[in-house]
Structure 1
């Protein structure tokens, strides 16, 4: 009699240990980072490769582990009830329920899942042989159960095979970067670089281009010596040239090509034919994504493209450097705001030129102003005000106070921005 009781108790403890493994395996396998596992597998870790294959069919894996977990939990509860009935009579049912609830909650749920969440990849690697054996054993039953579950969900209008996840891979990666930054694993510059890289597929060239009002152009109809002087005095390496109208851009002159042409005519700028020096202009639609434009720049080995709208009118100019800056950002002193047209005041406010892009402000000052409806800070104020504000008018939105300092005709030239509560 006593021997049977001891054997039953030992079997119950063994089943609770199995339940520990089932619960921990489920949590560890589902919480493990796919990127970490892939890195470990690429480094030759066989167990990481096993885990990768198992989580490829996560529904089959989780189903098999849940089936095994429920089997051992039910069997352990039944054996405990039988044991306690022998020891305490009818009251044994109550005692068995209380004891098994405590045992299973602590040793089969909280403890294994806490350990698995603490180090999911390490836990998953250790239990990978056990999980593979369970999937081999209960995999077919799990697949059949999943078919039944999917059929039931279809009755409620949910199609697991059709409905896409709410969070895309880009959004998940962006969220991970934000969490790492908040936890101190990423500094702000690293977060901005990764975020800028992810934004390339969402931004268009019109979001980062130099607007036509800010373009440095040369008029090919001017005397050659005037054109040469303008190009050589320009701070830019490549200058578009036009004839008759700025909408009629006929070429792009590289300063090095111009110097070479000057050398060939004994440095006499009057003998330079600027149109022969200019290369053919490259026109791109304003709706081209930065991702596509970057690939096009690299493929064509070009650095400058002229941006046009749907009617073929020139809107601006985009360079390879503009796109790269979206990834790497500006190099700034830790106490300075290194954005052209932005000045930090002693009272904490910021004086901003209306033409400063919202994205540059957000990255430099760690603000979160929306840039869906407007590209520049002046455009944002006009959009929110639904009018062109007068000087000294003030507006509050998105947690900031905007004061119009200077206006030139219909253009906001300068703004002062401070936190709304100040």
Structure 2
């Protein structure tokens, strides 16, 4: 065996090493955490910044790596066939195919990609400078290849430039759900992060206190009774109305009322409650929760009344209502405790019909839809396509619903029983 033979063997080994580099780089650069790279880049890590720039133009990156990888694999296979033909004759082609397939799969595909997946961020930062040079050198070729590919796709009515990408919110939500399933994120943390991501999708009508559950006092009732009702209320801000409950004329703050009482020696008859009430703030029911949170912070107010397109009061929303969408129920020593949800011995739940679906999903880890209905009673009516009678039962979303109580056209109490995974919904 002459020197040419050994040079060919050395070239094959070298080419397999280059293939190792390309395969590992491809996996590392696509699997590296974009968030971590961005954070490190902002902290001054130049290699992380380079990784971030490379992954922005992912098509050029993958095209260059695949081009380089295919070139070296084909060249290594050709050299291997040439060497083995010299030794075994025509049978060398078969031996070269078997040997190179095994070598490429093990040493140029599985091994480097496994190593890259073990530490993708570190691997990506190590190979980034060399990959940048390769992307630059192969840019004319990869650009031409991409143009040909796009032309072929357009022939089938597909446009790669208009392909929909996963939004940042969806990616974050998917990551959090996955980590929760893996046990790395607790349910409470997942719910909080999900609540933050939901703020821009929700409208104030989704989280407001509906007018049927809203405490409002008649501004024309006897002053002593009005003062007593405000102070006995579990709320610090109480709406005042005249003639009808949706004619809100002011909002009285318990602290302002106490200050007024102190000034008159504690005599409620000397207090003009309507004068110390502040002007109500009305917001459309279609306002996004994120926008309302920003408005609360900007105006330094915690309370707003929600109206529909006709100006009719639909309910109220507070800063606490929005915060509860993130952190869950907030209770203090003055809150009125309302069960609303009681687990029974048989595994079923007795639920107040006005309990919000989002609260149920958060508390019980259910996944009931809340796009069309806000409350559990509303969901039953929506699914049943009618207002059911007391005692009626329905099965959907793998749950059995039974109407326990009904007042006029309102479902006030339900029994909900989770069904087994093999139960067919109807």
Separation of aligned partners in 1, 2:84 and 2:70: 21
Output aligned runs, 1:331-370, within 5 Å.
Answer: 340-370=339-369
Q: Which residue of 2 aligns with 1:89?
A: 89
Contact 1:61 1:139 in 2 (8 A): no
**CA–CA distance in structure 1, aligned partners of residues 370 and 135 of structure 2:** 49
Residue 371 of structure 1 is matched in structure 2 by: 370
Determine the structure 2 residue equivalent to 1:9: 9
Q: Find the counterpart in structure 2 of residue 219 from structure 1.
A: 218
* Corresponding residue number in structure 2 for 1:103: 103
- Measure the CA separation in 1 of the matches of 2:224 and 2:69: 86
CA contact (8 A) 1:22 1:65 kept: yes
C-alpha separation in 2, matches of 1:234 and 1:210: 16
1:131-167 C-alpha deviation (Å, 9 max, x unpaired): 12211321232223222222222222222222322x3
- CA–CA distance in 1 between the matches of 2:32 and 2:307? 47
Mind listing any 5+ residue stretches in structure 1 that lack a counterpart? 333-337
Deviation at 1:129, TM superposition (A): 2.3
Which stretch of the first structure deviates more once superposed, 137-146 or 281-290?
A: 137-146
Once the two structures are superposed, residues 12-52 of structure 1 have per-residue CA deviations (whole angstroms, 9 ceiling, x without a partner) of: 10000000101111111011110111122233332211111
Residue of structure 2 in register with 1:240 after alignment: 239
Aligned pairs (5 A) from 1:196-207:
196-207=195-206
The answer (yes or no) to whether the contact 1:25–1:123 under 8 Å persists in 2 is yes
**Aligned residue number for residue 179 of structure 1:** 178
**Contact 2:348 2:416 (8 Å CA) reproduced:** yes
User: Unpaired segments of 5 or more residues in structure 2?
Assistant: 332-336
Q: Give the whole-Å Cα distance in 1 for the aligned partners of 2:311 and 2:133.
A: 65
Is the Cα–Cα contact under 8 Å of residues 340 and 356 in structure 1 kept in the other structure?
no
Q: How does 1:289-308 map to 2 (within 5 A)?
A: 289-308=288-307
The answer to whether the 8 A contact 1:330-1:339 is kept is no
Structure 1 partner of 2:75: 75
Instruction: Name the residue aligned to 1:267.
Output: 266
Local SS of the residue matching 1:239? strand
Q: Offset of 1:71 from its aligned partner?
A: 1.3
2:283 corresponds to 1:284:
yes
CA RMSD of aligned residues (A): 1.6
- Tell me how many residue pairs correspond in the alignment: 416
Answering whether residue 51 of structure 2 is matched by residue 47 of structure 1, we say no
Would you say the 8 A contact 2:320–2:330 is kept in 1?
A: no
Q: What TM-score comes out, normalization by structure 1 length?
A: 0.95
Q: Which residue of 1 aligns with 2:318?
A: 319
Q: Does the CA contact (< 8 Å) of 1:27 and 1:117 recur in 2?
A: yes
Q: Deviations over 1:66-115 (max 9, x none)?
A: 11111111111111111112111122122111111111111111211222
Alpha-carbon distance change, 269 to 242 in structure 1, aligned in 2, over 3 angstroms: same
Contact 1:354 1:414 in 2 (8 A): yes
Structure 1 residue ranges, 4+ long, deviating more than 3 angstroms after superposition? none
Q: Which shifted more, 106-115 or 172-181?
A: 106-115
**Equivalent pair of 2:240/2:249 in contact (CA under 8 Å):** yes
- Looking at structure 2, the residues matched to 119 and 246 of structure 1 have their Cα atoms a distance apart, in angstroms, of 63
